[in-house]
Amino acid sequence: MQNQQQQQNKQIANPSTGQLPKVKTPEMNDRDFINDGLATCKYLTDSLNIAVREASHEQLYKDLLQMLEETHDSARHLFDVMFQNGWYKLEAAEQQKIDQAYQQFSNYSTQFPYQ
């Protein structure tokens, strides 16, 4: 019980709105639709990023770049909706892990050509 409570304390989330049914049915609910949209936006941003990087025509590059930005904005909006409704939880990182990552990546800066 204590381990479960410690794990819950590490989560960052808003309380659930209570809008979802207690028992999941085969029908999609609001959370399912938004989660599907977010997954689609993530897939599209990955694909569009490649297309932008490889576009050889200037106008195509600009159009794809605009689509990429709009898709990122949509993904952010869907994430915000899910987080506000308590449907998306984040796990808080331990300070020691943050410090280790900072140390690891700050050492990489010595490899940059311009200091």
Element (H, E) at 12: strand 11-12
Regarding predicted confidence, which is higher, 65 or 18? 65
Q: Is residue 1 over pLDDT 90?
A: no
Q: Give pLDDT tens digits for 34-74.
A: 999 999 999 999 999 999 999 999 999 999 999 999 999 99
* DSSP-assigned beta bridge partners for residue 90: 12
Output the pLDDT for position 21.
Answer: 60
Q: How many other CB atoms are found less than 10 A from the CB of residue 65?
A: 16
Q: What is the pTM of this model?
A: 0.66
